[in-house]
Amino acid sequence: MGEWITDTVINLQSRGILRVEDGNHGESRPRPDEFEDVGVAFIRAADMADGVVLFDSASKINSRARERITKGIGKPGDILISHKGTVGRIARAPFNAPDFVCSPQTTFWRSTNEEILNQDFLYAYMRSPKFAQEFLVRSGETDMAGYVSLTSQRCLVLSIPPIELQRPIGALMSTLDDKIKLNRRTNETLEAMARAIFKDWFVDFGPTRAKMEGRAPYLAPDIWSLFPDRLDNEGKPEGWIAESVYDQAIWVNGAAYKDMHFSSEPDALPVVKIAELKNGITKTTRFTNTDLGKRYKIVDGELLFSWSGNPDTSIDTFVWTSGKAWLNQHIFAVRPNGKRSQAFLYAMLKFLRNEFAEIARNKQTTGLGHVTQQDLIRLRITVPSEGAQAAFDDVVGPLHSRFTSNLFESRSLIATRDFLLPNLMSGEIRVRDAEKAIEAAQ
């Protein structure tokens, strides 16, 4: 087994082992008129989530802007980290990544000598608690809030084990990442299916319209018979009623920060904000041992609706999978009231996401918007018959159960990954034992 390398990023770069580079600043940066619907992806911090680079939703620059850019030109397999505004968000470009460039907010990290530094290992290393802490410390070195300059990044010290250890660790972490990504893709499909069924049955009234037009049934006979043959004067299936979104569940708003005493004591529970809904419990999560009461305590499997924040990225619905916690005031716990199943509520809220975003956008101040209880009362949906509701639960319920199960499995895999990495690097756990731990987590 070879020796460990402990050196600064800038020295590793000068030795041809590592390249760290951010996007163009100043005159070479793309101008507003150079952004188009189709072109080269311009990756900002907002274009990274859960280790994935969101190429489809990223802004695109035209060929004129791309020709002028000399820095931050990405390659498949690059590791991207956000260093301005949102600090420390990490994602990896897949090996089939389209053309992209980093914005001044993001930096790519790339091994330039795989015989010394394995890229899979580097990606795992950069998501370790050790690296995250060191990167976060660098963000406090300037007066500018949330900023780790390229110079600061290049001053970071990396401890790199021998390549013989890097490769199996990198491969093991990649296996975990692949399973987590597969769960995510599966859940995207499951969610889309549930949302499409909800829309067809309870928004577009597809079966009823098909009957009115004399089209052939496209559902099982027992389900097809549950849909009325005509629409009423209000345009909904005959016999169905309209109710407010608010009436479909019990909406519990979280507790205010002022009511909490933050603590690191063993009995303290995490306080859930939008960051925790997106990323789970992290180093930046705050804890309190204040007993806020049963009403505000959430448990695994609860449906949570974030009603305040950026209309495009924060107003959304989540299933909580990170254990007992306290609810912050900018989030509703959406609890069944006996009328609707959780599968129905989740599909409904996901379908209404764009409408919620528009409501929040119309109230936007300093980039933030909100959806209030009064908005939920005003917003109405068509409520199906008991039979149609039960049929929806029979069809979509198993999809929702699998969706939730995948969330829990991914959370377990993430916890396993975060535990194994430092112990593998220190030699306290062998790769063979780590493989057994991964099997147990699935």
Q: Among residues 330, 335, 369, which one has the least CA distance to residue 246? A: 335
| Residues 260 and 199 both lie in one domain | no
What is the pLDDT at residue 146?
A: 80
CA distance 65 to 28: 8
| Residues 138 and 193 both lie in one domain | no
Sign of CA dihedral 187, 190, 193, 196: negative
> Which residues contact residue 414 at a Cβ distance below 8 angstroms, ignoring those fewer than 6 apart?
180, 280
pTM of the model: 0.85
CA distance 120 to 97: 16
| Residues 150 and 271 both lie in one domain | no
What is the pLDDT at residue 422?
A: 84
| Domain end (from 160, 181, 212) | 160
Which range of residues forms the domain containing residue 414? 163-239+384-442
Report the 10 Å Cβ neighbour count for 35: 14
> What DSSP string describes 253-280?
E-B-GGG--B--STT-EEEE-HHHHHH-
CA distance 110 to 399: 39
Please answer whether residues 324 and 265 qualify as being in contact, where contact means their C-beta atoms are separated by less than 8 angstroms.
no
Q: Among residues 186, 179, 50, which one has the least CA distance to residue 441? A: 179
Coil, helix or strand at residue 19: strand
What is the pLDDT at residue 18?
A: 97
Q: Which helix (H) or strand (E) element contains residue 434?
A: helix 431-441
> Which residues contact residue 290 at a Cβ distance below 8 angstroms, ignoring those fewer than 6 apart?
259, 260, 261, 263, 326
Please answer whether residues 399 and 344 qualify as being in contact, where contact means their C-beta atoms are separated by less than 8 angstroms.
no
| Residues 155 and 176 both lie in one domain | no
| Residues 36 and 102 both lie in one domain | yes
CATH number at residue 84: 3.90.220.20
Q: Which residue matches tokens 């306080």?
A: 271
Task: Give the chain's end-to-end CA distance (angstroms, integer).
Answer: 31
| Residues 23 and 154 both lie in one domain | yes
What is the pLDDT at residue 383?
A: 95
CA distance 314 to 305: 10
CA distance 393 to 388: 9
> Which residues contact residue 333 at a Cβ distance below 8 angstroms, ignoring those fewer than 6 apart?
251, 252, 254, 298, 302, 303, 304, 327
| Residues 249 and 312 both lie in one domain | yes
What is the pLDDT at residue 418?
A: 83
> Which residues contact residue 78 at a Cβ distance below 8 angstroms, ignoring those fewer than 6 apart?
92, 93, 97, 108, 109, 110
Please answer whether residues 404 and 266 qualify as being in contact, where contact means their C-beta atoms are separated by less than 8 angstroms.
no
CA distances from 90 to 93, 106, 127, 271 (A): 10, 9, 7, 23
Q: Among residues 71, 64, 83, 56, which one has the least CA distance to residue 151? A: 83
Rg (CA), the chain: 25
What is the pLDDT at residue 318?
A: 96
| Residues 206 and 123 both lie in one domain | no
Phi-psi region of 162 (alpha: psi -120 to 50; beta: other; left: phi over 0): beta
Please answer whether residues 49 and 278 qualify as being in contact, where contact means their C-beta atoms are separated by less than 8 angstroms.
yes
> Which residues contact residue 229 at a Cβ distance below 8 angstroms, ignoring those fewer than 6 apart?
208, 211, 212, 238
pLDDT tens digits, one per residue of 365-417: 766 899 999 999 999 999 999 999 999 999 999 999 999 999 999 999 888 88
| Residues 211 and 256 both lie in one domain | no
CA distance 402 to 408: 10
Q: What are the phi and psi torsion angles at 350 (to 5°)?
A: -65, -40
| Residues 131 and 249 both lie in one domain | no
| Residues 346 and 399 both lie in one domain | no
Q: Which residue matches tokens 């660098």?
A: 138
What is the pLDDT at residue 195?
A: 96
Q: Among residues 243, 290, 245, which one has the least CA distance to residue 269? A: 290
| Domain end (from 341, 366, 382) | 382
CA distance 321 to 270: 13
Q: Which residues are paired to 159 by β-bridges?
A: 6
Collect the ranges in the chain with pLDDT lower than 50: none
What is the pLDDT at residue 1?
A: 55
| Domain end (from 108, 126, 160) | 160
Report the 10 Å Cβ neighbour count for 322: 20
| Residues 19 and 142 both lie in one domain | yes
DSSP state of 368: B
pLDDT tens digits, one per residue of 118-165: 999 999 999 888 898 889 888 866 666 688 999 999 999 999 999 999
Q: Domains in the chain: how many in total?
A: 3
